[in-house]
Amino acid sequence: MRALFAATKAARAKRWDAGRFSFNVAKGRCATCDGEGFVSVELLFMPSAYAPCPTCHGARYNPQTLTVTWEDRTIAGILGLTVDEACAVFAAQPAVLRPLVLLREIGLGYLRLGQPATELSGGEAQRIKLATELQRAQRGDALYVLDEPTSGLHPADVDKLLAQLHGLVDAGNTVLVVEHDLRVVADSDWVIDLGPGAGDDGGRILASGTPEHVSRANRSRVVGSRTAPYLAEALGLAFAQR
């Protein structure tokens, strides 16, 4: 995106490169907030608070940088778009569109392009890393470990994420997911059920095998799986939906 702005007639006339449109570089960012978009306000006898930058008002760039526009939008305006909105704006820019489509396909279409990393949940951060990996050429020998990547996701977005994970596996990679969402567990190739409880009450492998095998764990000599009956229900629902 920064390259598109650097290629505009206005930027070339000023001999500005792509770095000018990064809020991590001093020459383009707001000098008051250092590109953060907000400033810390010291309060007497109370914790510090944060307020929009009084100079850029949250735009993160200095006024000179914001004089350059691409398709009638400033770089600050672009970063204010959601991924879904940006897919429409950059529909004719394949290099930009491809990563945006991947983000949308793993359920992150609602994120703003300029959203600070500190505002992301753990699951969102993992899915962004996953989208980065999906852009690379697949060699088929990688191990991906994800810790509850479906946290906070709508069921429809879980389906999108599962499709991408299956794509990694189909390419020959191995995906290990620590997960409590039984729809994900039921869709796995192999399940390791730990328990019987949490913390000091857990740590034992109660059952392992295909989802169908683990769902019948309490019918065998291994008793105590709290996952088994709910997994059986999830498998029955999935089978009915087919």
Q: How many CB atoms lie within 10 A of CB 191?
A: 20
Question: Beta 204-209 vs 191-195: how paired, if at all?
Answer: antiparallel
pLDDT of residue 118: 85
Is residue 68 situated within a structural domain?
yes
- Give the domain extent around 70: 1-79
Question: Beta 46-52 vs 204-209: how paired, if at all?
Answer: unpaired
Is residue 85 situated within a structural domain?
no
Of 67, 110, 106, nearest in space to 86 by CA: 110
Is residue 27 situated within a structural domain?
yes
pLDDT averaged over every residue in the chain: 90
Q: What is the C-alpha separation between 29 and 19, in angstroms, rounded? A: 10
In this predicted model, what pLDDT tens digit does every residue of 42-52 receive, in sequence order?
877 778 888 99
State how many domains the chain has: 1
In this prediction, residues 68-96 reach a mean pLDDT of: 97
In this predicted model, what pLDDT tens digit does every residue of 72-84 receive, in sequence order?
999 999 999 999 9
Contact, 155 vs 143, CB < 8 A?
no
pLDDT of residue 219: 66
Q: What percentage of the chain carries pLDDT values higher than 90?
A: 64
Q: Hey, what amino acid is at 60?
A: R
| 221 has pLDDT over 70 | no
In this predicted model, what pLDDT tens digit does every residue of 131-157 receive, in sequence order?
888 888 778 889 999 999 888 788 888
Residue 133 is a catalytic residue: no
In this predicted model, what pLDDT tens digit does every residue of 166-213 receive, in sequence order?
989 999 999 999 999 999 999 999 999 998 888 888 889 999 999 999
Is residue 13 situated within a structural domain?
yes
Q: Where are the alpha helices (DSSP H) in 187-226?
A: 211-215
Catalytic residue among 71, 85, 148, 179: 148
| 240 has pLDDT over 60 | no
CATH number of the domain residue 45 falls in: 1.20.1580.10
Taking the model in full, what pTM does it have? 0.76
In this prediction, residues 23-48 reach a mean pLDDT of: 90
Q: What is the C-alpha separation between 69 and 82, in angstroms, rounded? A: 18
| DSSP assigned state of 50 | E
Is residue 31 situated within a structural domain?
yes
In this predicted model, what pLDDT tens digit does every residue of 156-169 receive, in sequence order?
888 989 999 998 99
Is residue 50 situated within a structural domain?
yes
Cis-peptide, bond into residue 47, ω within 30° of zero = no
Is residue 44 situated within a structural domain?
yes
Is residue 144 situated within a structural domain?
no
